Amino acid sequence: MSEQTKICCLGAGYVGGPTMAMIAHQCPDIDVHVVDLNPKRIAAWNSEELPVYEPGLYDVVKQARGRNLKFTTDVPGAIREANMCFISVNTPTKTFGIGAGRAANLEFVEKCARTIAEYSDSDKVVVEKSTLPVRTAESVQRILNSSSSGVKFSVLSNPEFLAEGTAVDDLLNPDRILIGGDNDVAIEKLADVYKHWVPDERIIRTNLWSSELSKLTANAFLAQRVSSINAISALCEATGADVDEVAGAIGTDSRIGPRFLKASVGFGGSCFQKDILNLVYLCEHFGLPEVAQYWEQVIVMNDYQKRRFSTRIVKKMFNTVSDKKIAIWGFAFKKDTNDTRESAAIYVCRDLLEERARITIYDPQVSLEQIRQDLEYLMAGPGGVLTEAQRELLYNNVTVTSSAKAAADGAHAIAVMTEWDEFSDQDFDSIYQSMMKPAFVFDGRNVLDAQQLSDAGFEIESIGKS
């Protein structure tokens, strides 16, 4: 009989936490220990207020926690007990040195590999869960093999395709599970974990590099769709077409399909930009400049879309927003998450602050501390130091409120940055009364009823509609 699987996952973030919770939930016979270097994060996973806001996640965690799911800072202990280690740590874009602004920073992944090698006293399957550049598995394997303990490691790539905000459902009903590797025994051991709830025909086995590249390619294709419809949104605004109508019409073509055609202020999130930059770096590295330039345009278009939105706000408000109050509805990069990484809201707020606007932000899940940190980071730029003028702007011109209505009180304009459901469900007559006139609404997500708002007296500007 084969040995019972015992899992250790290094990294309790947006990917590691939910994924391991679902594995533990669906596989009561498998012990799952999730470790992190950050004791605050582990304490939050052990509390009633999880560090990751994700609909339905708390129920999943609650059912498995204390049974076969454990969150701990005991990294050596969890590694020793496990025969399968997942690496699920952050791989941000490098901000320094070779490949800065493009390549992924693999420092955390490499440290994980070294930690696994250091504390392992029995053979292990090591699973890459983090999104990684192609051929990272090779480096991880080499680091593990360089350990002198005689322990054997088999490295697999098993990229995660969950989207934030729908993670529980994505994990429960995945379109596919992808496992890349060259050791069939290890591949089947991991497949057996997923087979507890995923039909075998949805488990795809490939070689290591195909698996790693598939993850980057999937995200590049999805981001490309968003940039494509956003490019068309600019043309719609210029010509009088309606981007939602265009998206609806082309989405009925079964070869195109309806999803990921929602025009917006620009995509965000921890993956799209990072993965495309990774792809671009890879293509350049392998001497394929045309391919690199092709994919880079997806990001160029996204930057254009974010900038276009803030420029439109300034232009419509009589070419100045200086000392005007602008309510920012939503700061997360999409609804149903507290994640703000690469959120378009950060860029638009930066632009408005540079124009000396006063901004009042409301997001149902993002804290003041996070908002400050994101704005500080972007405004300080590569040097990492804020000028005195920037610091003043950040502290004098940014406030955070506890409701959408409060943010709009006395404002000259509302800018919708995240498509939270509650934003379309407001008392717009009373909001209109409380605002300065003309009262502008800039709907960066096309979630508000433009006719209703216009009837209430607002001047409404939507994406891709003139």
Residue selected from 31, 164, 355, 461 as contacting ligand UDX according to rule CB under 6 A: 164
Contact by Cβ (8 Å): 177, 202: yes
> Which segment (174-182, 267-275, 350-358, 398-406) binds ligand UDX by CB under 6 A?
267-275
Contact 445, 264 (CB under 8 A): yes
Distance CA 290, CA 170 (A): 34
Helix (H) or strand (E) segment spanning residue 301: helix 289-316
Would you say 14 is a known binding-site residue?
A: yes
- Closer to ligand UDX at the Cβ: 6 or 308? 308
The answer to whether the beta carbons of residues 407 and 431 sit under 8 Å apart is no
3-state SS, residue 104: strand
| Ligand-binding site membership of 273 (annotated) | yes
Q: Which residues bind ligand ADP (CB under 6 A)?
A: 10-16, 35-38, 41, 88-90, 108, 111-112, 115, 130, 270
User: Active-site residue among 8, 271, 283, 349?
Assistant: 271
Q: Report d(CA 57, CA 35) in Å as an integer.
A: 18
CA 45, chain centre distance (Å): 19
Q: Counting contacts by CB under 6 A, is residue 346 touching ligand UDX?
A: no
How far, in Å, CA of 49 to CA of 338, rounded?
Answer: 12
330 binds ligand UDX (CB under 6 A): no
| Residues 109, 110, 113: CA angle, nearest 5 degrees | 90
Mode of pairing for the β-strands spanning 398-400 and 413-416? unpaired
The answer to the question of residue 222 lying near ligand UDX (CB under 6 A) is yes
Strands 413-416 and 325-329: parallel
Question: 268 touches which of ligand UDX, ligand ADP, none (CB within 5 to 8 A by kind)?
Answer: ligand UDX
Q: Which of 52, 34, 89 is nearest to 168 (CA)?
A: 52
Task: Kindly tell me which of 85 and 345 has the beta carbon lying closer to ligand ADP.
Answer: 85
Per-residue tokens: 320: 């100045």
Compute the distance between CA of residue 212 and CA of residue 179 in angstroms, rounded to an integer: 9
The reply, when asked if residue 219 is annotated as ligand binding, is yes
Contact pick of 197, 209, 260, 294 for ligand UDX (by CB under 6 A): 260
Which helix H or strand E contains 392, and what residues bound it? helix 388-396
d(CA 37, CA 238): 51
User: In degrees rounded to 5, what are phi and psi of residue 358?
Assistant: -100, 125
Quick one: DSSP state of residue 424?
G
Out of ligand ADP, ligand UDX, none, what residue 261 binds, judged by CB under 5 to 8 A for its kind, is: ligand UDX
Please give the biggest Cα pair distance in the chain.
75
Active site residue 271: yes
CB-closest chain residue to ligand ADP:
13
- Using CB distances below 5 to 8 A depending on partner kind, what does residue 36 bind out of ligand ADP, ligand UDX, none? ligand ADP
CB atoms within 10 A of CB 55: 14
Stretch that binds ligand UDX, among 102-110, 257-265, 347-355, 429-437 (CB under 6 A): 257-265
Question: Pick from ligand ADP, ligand UDX, none: which does 58 bind, CB < 5 to 8 A by kind?
Answer: none
**310 lines the binding site for ligand UDX (CB under 6 A):** no
Q: Which amino acid is at 133?
A: P
CB of 52 to ligand ADP, least distance (A): 7
Which does residue 130 bind out of ligand ADP, ligand UDX, none, counting CB within 5 to 8 angstroms by kind? ligand ADP
11 binds, among ligand ADP, ligand UDX, none (CB under 5 to 8 A by kind): ligand ADP
Q: Which stretch binds ligand UDX (CB under 6 A): 159-167, 206-214, 314-322, 351-359?
A: 159-167
Q: Is 263 annotated as a binding residue?
A: yes
Q: Which of 53, 71, 119, 267 binds ligand UDX (CB under 6 A)?
A: 267
Q: Which window, 155-163, 288-296, 421-429, 447-455, contacts ligand UDX (CB under 6 A)?
A: 155-163
Quick one: 298 or 352, whose CB is closer to ligand UDX?
298
In this complex, which beta carbon is closest to ligand ADP, that of residue 153 or of residue 423?
Answer: 153
What is the spatial distance between Cα 293 and Cα 440, in angstroms, rounded to a whole number? Answer: 38
The structure tokens 């501390």 sit at 369
CA 343, 225, 104 angle in degrees (round to 5)? 55
Question: Residue 260 binds what, of ligand ADP, ligand UDX, none (CB under 5 to 8 Å, by partner type)?
Answer: ligand UDX
Q: Give the active site residues.
A: 271
Annotation: binding site: 11-16, 36, 41, 89-93, 130-131, 160-164, 215-219, 255, 262-268, 271-274, 333-334, 341, 445
Binding site for ligand UDX (CB under 6 A): 160-164, 219, 222, 226, 260-262, 264, 267-269, 271-272, 333-334
